[in-house]
Amino acid sequence: MATTYRPEGHEDTFAASDEVRLPTLGARGWLRWMWRQLTSMRVALLLLMLLAVAAVPGTMFPQNAQDPAKVAQYVVDHPTTGPWLDRLGFFDVYSSVWFSAIYLMLFISLVGCILPRTRAHLAGLRDRPPRTPRRLTRFPAQAEQTSVAAAPERVVLAARDAMRRGPWWLPFARSYRVDVNDEGDGTWSASAERGYLRETGNLVFHLALVGLLVSIAAGQMLHYRGQALVVQGRGMANSVKEYDTFEKGTAFRDDSLQPFTLTLDRFTSRFDPETLEARDFAAYVTVTEPDGSAAERTIKVNHPLERDGAKIYLQGNGYAPELTVRDAAGEVAFAGAVPFLPQDEVYTSRGVVKVPDVSDGQDQIGLVGYLLPTAVEVADGLYRSVDPQPGSPVLVLSVWSGNLGLDTGVPQNVYQLDESRMTQAVDADGRAVTLYLRPGESVELPDGLGSVSFDSLTRYVALDLRHDPALTWILVFALAALCGLAASLFAPRRRLWVRASRAGEASLTVVTAAGLARGDDVGLQPELDRVLAATLDPLRGAVTSDGATRSVGHAASPGTGDEADEEKSVDGSDHGDR
Amino acid sequence: MEIGDLSTLLVWAAATAFTIALVAYTVDLARLTDNAQRRQPQVADAEAATGARSLVGVGVAGAASAARAGGSADPARGAGDAGRARVDSAVAGSTQDVALGRSPRAEGIARSTTYLGVVMLFAAIVLRGFAAGRWPTANMYEFTLVGVLVATLVLAIVQRRRVIAFVGVVVMGIAVTALVVALESFFVRADAVRPALQNYWLVLHVGVAISATGIFTVAFAAAVLQVMRDGRETGRSHLTTPWRRADGLRQAFSGLAVTGPQFRWVDQVPEARRLEALSFRLNAIGFVLWTLTLIGGAIWAEDAWGRYWNWDPKEVGTFIAWVVYAAYLHARTTRGWGGRKAAYFVFVGYAAVIANFTVVNLAVSGMHSYAF
């Protein structure tokens, strides 16, 4: 047996595609059929579920967009499946052909479905409520009231006013659209409808989703993003070549960058003394405008620096030891701050010093090692960092010499030493030489390569500058979608009818009312009772009548008695105030 | 004793209260089953007596009229009539309307321990916030506490007039399990949070997400019950039709068929249509909150990470659940997909929500990884 209970539906607005007669279809017919299929709710459902399933692999496999190193590692670890997954786009799921195809189809389906509905809804906005049916007894919500002294016309006009009146918290909004009909023989009726907001909300939600997609796409074309490491006391200028990495949309032009400069004056960090968890990071910077005016600003996590619609984020921080390397001839071959990348929560940082500019005829020098901000010697020659703050920094370095390979034309990672043409310095026993340096110390390099001195320890910050002009639109459409969604789910769609007629020869008026709602609506009967009470209570005035409105219970919504009672009592006090 | 320890104690106390509520709901459910089975061969005459005895004078007229009006063929409608007739009853001192075969004592215990547990859990969460000096939604332990609070609160609201024992059993079962797992596995000392979490969105984004999860939990329970009730209404169970190759397996489980005698208590719960409506109302609220979670998360991500959308595993999980619930809302309005089939979407959606909370937090590393 098929499921008989059905919630409210819009299925009437969806053309059933089954009606097309397949055998006689021409090319146009086929296109039409495909369009109907694509815009049908069933295919939309299928696409939605496909989208959900297609999004899963992105959480199971490493993604190039988030972590290219992990992807490379995965391909190395899985030599058979890795390349195939790569070919099929499993490492770029969200920009893959199949994922894009699904959501684009979904949006085409959405547009094909929503546009005709928007047209129909706009036309329907001027519609009048349906005329009062002859028999009101077949509707899910009913109420009737006998022995009212007022004339039917007055009763119906009062009902019209009661139905038009908005809720108590929004008294000027019209809740129902009401028509009053003279049905002859002294019988009058009012037919009312509300809930256009529901479909309006539904359409706003779907159109806002389209707007959201368009905004995101526009943002992708117009945005730019640059990353730069700035060492304390140094600065950077806002131009493409100053950034370590720079990505931009297709519509970006280099001259759209404002040529301001930014200097890192100071960086502070605070950690929980027990758990060593980070508590606060703050970068104090000076921003100098092209016209020379300077302003001191602070950048914190969650509080980016905003400038000309672009935001500058504090994305990372670390230590950059100031080093001076002298070659065998005693010439300064390298001097400067070298950023070391933190590897763990105690800021054990890894870094590489490449010294290519040695005097003629000498080997180039590479220093690889770790910086330990607060070093503790756990065993002979074995140090470990125990605190992220620079309590007693130690630099642990191994020494390489040979050809750094910087002139091969192949771009190199600054944080990686290409060891293929280099040899590591070893001591007489053949063990690798390890240098330990504290700030202010200087040691000789083995094999007479020269010397290195650890001048001081400074800090650096990783800044992320980002501009996306579509952000405002993305927010606007997202909020529109949210409001539309709420309206489409919570605005009730109801029809009410009130009929008043003379009862026999007595000068009494019989009032009957009925209500119909889309789907299961527990508020329908209370609403009908409220309308009838609001209509009749003022009319009754001094006339005594035989009591309260009698709700005629009905089979379709058992168990609503509780809510009805509650709302009626709330309403009663409301009327008392009027 | 520190405030944080007091908070932990209160969580244990709340878990105990919820366990008692769970037992009480189970007793109520067992009583329903028992009565439904015992009553089956008898006629309507006996029902009035059973009703009167178990009602302890509360709403006698209601129960009697329910027996007359509904009988065993349609007890839900009878219960509805009982609710309405309650107003006429002179002895209706209590606001609860009690259907046939229920155990008022068990329901009273369930109700009061639920309230007690909610109050204690709320106090525990507030104290936790004081102990940490911040809003208490920053790690998995705290998410679980607040999520359970929302779920049990929604349960208490949904059941304030009429106890649906099965929903109580499901929600309390999940609540107790979640609290104990939180205390045993997710517990961390109350502490301040790292800079990335120092934002008022911690209150909004996480709070809304947890509320949505709590609401989805109750909606899920209602959907489970809806499918069971639907199975009985239509006399259909997958366990009664042959399973081709795996038919042996089916026969092993055939005693569990929802159409069988031990599920007779299902006849006592509201009709599938009404459960569907309840599930839909809750899911609709949950879905709007879930949408707000996504939007709030995007705004926060824009502030904290410089990208409103990262395709971070947590974001993807939230997105998947959102899409599934969107599919559910569409399914409800599609011909041939309403009712029971729509409920399946609720199952998938709820599974996505729970997986997003557990699997993604514990097994996948991502930018939300500090969440526990």
* pLDDT tens across the length of chain B (372 residues): 678 888 889 999 999 999 999 999 888 888 877 776 665 554 444 444 444 444 433 333 333 343 433 333 344 433 434 333 333 333 333 333 444 567 788 888 998 999 999 999 999 999 998 888 888 878 888 888 998 998 999 889 888 877 778 888 888 999 999 999 888 888 887 777 777 777 778 778 888 998 899 899 999 999 999 998 888 888 777 777 777 777 777 777 776 777 777 777 777 778 888 888 889 999 999 999 999 999 999 998 888 888 899 888 889 999 999 999 999 998 888 777 778 888 999 999 999 999 988 888 777 777 666 544
What pLDDT sits at residue A556? Answer: 37
Distance CA B66, CA B73 (A): 11
All residues of chain A having their beta carbon less than 8 Å from the beta carbon of residue B305 are: 313, 315
Give, in order, the Cα–Cα distances in Å from A43 to each of A25, A48, A159: 21, 8, 45
A513 token code pair: 């009312």
User: Using the 8-state DSSP alphabet, how is residue B245 labeled?
Assistant: G
Distance CA B66, CA B74 (A): 10
In this predicted structure, the answer to whether residue A543 has a pLDDT above a threshold of 80 is: no
Judged by CB atoms closer than 8 Å, whether chains meet at A565 and B87 is answered as yes
CB atoms within 10 A of CB A171: 8
Nearest chain B alpha carbon to A304: B303
Find the helix or strand (DSSP H, E) in which A394 lies.
strand A394-402
Task: Decide if A280 touches B, using CB distance below 8 A.
Answer: yes
Alpha carbon of B369: minimum distance to chain A alpha carbons (Å): 13
Q: Classify residue A525 by burial, with Cβ atoms within 10 Å: 0-12, 13-18, 19+.
A: buried
Judged by CB atoms closer than 8 Å, whether chains meet at A5 and B272 is answered as yes
In the block, residue with structure tokens 């007055």: A154
Give, in order, the Cα–Cα distances in Å from A402 to each of A419, A426, B105: 9, 14, 87
Pairing of strands A141-148, A509-517: antiparallel
Q: Is B235 helix (H, G, I), strand (E, B) or coil?
A: coil
C-alpha B146: how far from its chain's center? 14
Nearest to A485 among B270, B291, B342 (CB): B291
Contact A283, A461 (CB under 8 A): yes
Judged by CB atoms closer than 8 Å, whether chains meet at A553 and B76 is answered as no
Share of chain A above pLDDT 90, in %: 19
DSSP β-bridge partners for residue A236: A262
Nearest to B288 among A63, A486, A562 (CB): A486
**What interface predicted TM-score (ipTM) does this complex get?**
0.79
Give me the residue spans of the domains in chain A.
11-124, 141-194+493-577, 323-455
Closest CA to B310 of B196, B223, B211: B196
Q: DSSP for A143-200?
A: EEEEEE-S-HHHHHHHHHHHHHS--TTSTTS---EEEEEEEETTEEEEEEEE-HHHHH
What is the third-level CATH fold of A141-194+493-577? Answer: TATA-Binding Protein (3.30.310)
How many pairs of residues across A and B have Cβ atoms under 8 Å apart? 185
Distance CA B56, CA B52 (A): 7
In the block, residue with structure tokens 């059929």: A33
DSSP β-bridge partners for residue A281: A269
Least trusted range by pLDDT, from A438-442, A564-568, B352-356: A564-568
Query: pLDDT-derived band of residue A475, with 50, 70 and 90 as boundaries?
Result: very high
Residue A354: half-sphere exposure toward Cβ, Cα within 13 Å: 15
What pLDDT sits at residue A138? Answer: 85
User: Using the 8-state DSSP alphabet, how is residue B65 labeled?
Assistant: H
All residues of chain A having their beta carbon less than 8 Å from the beta carbon of residue B292 are: 482
Question: C-alpha dihedral over B61, B67, B70, B73, to 10 degrees?
Answer: 160
Nearest to A489 among B288, B323, B364 (CB): B288
- The predicted-structure confidence for A59-83, as pLDDT tens digits, reads as follows 888 888 888 888 888 888 888 888 8
Query: pLDDT-derived band of residue A31, with 50, 70 and 90 as boundaries?
Result: confident
C-alpha B32: how far from its chain's center? 19
Judged by CB atoms closer than 8 Å, whether chains meet at A7 and B323 is answered as no
Least trusted range by pLDDT, from A47-56, A567-576, B182-191, B246-255: A567-576
Alpha carbon of B318: minimum distance to chain A alpha carbons (Å): 10
What pLDDT sits at residue A5? Answer: 53
What pLDDT sits at residue A506? Answer: 65
Query: pLDDT-derived band of residue A554, with 50, 70 and 90 as boundaries?
Result: very low
Distance CA A32, CA A20 (A): 9
- Strand ranges, E, within A222-260: 224-231, 235-237, 245-248
Higher-confidence residue of A334 and A564: namely: A334
Find the helix or strand (DSSP H, E) in which A465 lies.
strand A450-467
B141 token code pair: 């332990």
Nearest chain B alpha carbon to A468: B307
What pLDDT sits at residue B50? Answer: 44
Contact B80, B46 (CB under 8 A): no
Closest CA to A531 of A186, A131, A194: A194
Nearest chain B alpha carbon to A313: B306
Distance CA A348, CA A561 (A): 68
Give, in order, the Cα–Cα distances in Å from B255 to each of B40, B244, B249, B261, B267: 18, 18, 11, 9, 18
Contact A87, A96 (CB under 8 A): no
- Note which residues in 13-72 of chain A have CB less than 8 A from chain B: 14, 16, 41-42, 44-45, 48-49, 51-52, 55-56, 58-60, 63, 65-66
Give, in order, the Cα–Cα distances in Å from B338 to each of B147, B197, B327, B329: 29, 41, 12, 9
What pLDDT sits at residue B14? Answer: 93
B42 token code pair: 């008898």
Contact A11, B333 (CB under 8 A): yes
All residues of chain B having their beta carbon less than 8 Å from the beta carbon of residue A59 are: 313, 316-317, 360, 364, 366
Alpha carbon of A439: minimum distance to chain B alpha carbons (Å): 29
Mean pLDDT of all residues belonging to chain A: 81
Higher-confidence residue of A421 and B193: namely: A421
